[in-house]
Chains A and B, each alone.
Chain A
C-alpha cells in the first residue's frame, strides 16, 4: 500500500494564480481532510470529507475549495493564491467507526507552497 500520497512536494506560485494540490489514499478510508501548518500555529483544518460526494468546511476554509468524487481522491484547489497561503499543506485520511468517529489519521508527506 502507498498510504496517502500528495503531489506536488514543492510549489511556488505568484499572487493571483490558481492551482490544485492532489491527494490520494489507497486504504479505502471514508474520512479525508486537508490541514495547513504554519510556524507557531499548529495544524489547522481547512476542509474535510466523510465520503464521496460529501465535503465540509473546517477552521480556515476561505480561499480554498475541495471536491470528493471518489473515495480515493481529495484535491484541494487554491482559487487565487495570496502570500498568506504560504504554508505546508498536509492531506490525511482515517477510517470511521459506526458513529462516524474517526480513528488515527494517516498523513501524506506534505506540499510546501510559497506564494510570492
Chain B
C-alpha cells in the first residue's frame, strides 16, 4: 500500500494561516493531489504536485518534497467557509498511473 498519513483534526481562527501535512510511502510515486470536502458533500479538487516545490493558487498553496515523501497544503487568510476536511491522494505508477490512494483526511475547523 501507499501508507498515506494525515493528522486528524485542527482548529484555527478566521484570518489565520494553517498548514496541513501529508506523508506517504511508496516506491511508485507519480503525483499528489489535494481535495477539499465539506461535510455531506463530494470532494473537490484543490491542487496537484508532481515535481518538488511550491504551487500557489490564490489563498491555497501546496508543497511537495519527493525525497522526504512529504507534502503540505497551506491555507492563508482563513475564512469560515474553509471549515472542511482536506484529503491528500497519491498517484502510483505501480498501478498504471491511474489509481489514486487517499489519506483519511484532516478536519479543519475555523472559528471566529
Contacts and interface: CB of A to CB of B under 8 A. Distances in A.
Contacts of B48: 103-104
Nearest to A58: B99
A43 B35 CA distance: 11
Interface residues of B, number: 22
Contact of B91 (A35, A44, A101, A109): A101
A12 interface: no
Contacts of A43: 43, 87, 89, 102
Given A101-B91, A103-B48, A109 B42 contact: yes
Contacts, number: 59
A100 B104 contact: no
B60 to A, nearest CB: 14
B66 to A, nearest CB: 16
Given A42-B105, A43-B87, A102 B100 contact: yes
Contacts of A42: 87, 102-105
Interface residues of A, number: 28
A41 to B, nearest CB: 7
B27 interface: no
B98 A100 contact: yes
Given A42-B102, A59-B101, A110-B41, 16 more contacts: A35-B102, A42-B87, A48-B98, A50-B96, A90-B42, A99-B97, A100-B96, A101-B30, A101-B31, A101-B91, A102-B99, A104-B48, A105-B33, A105-B43, A106-B45, A110-B42
Interface of B: 30-31, 33, 41-45, 48, 87, 89, 91, 96-105
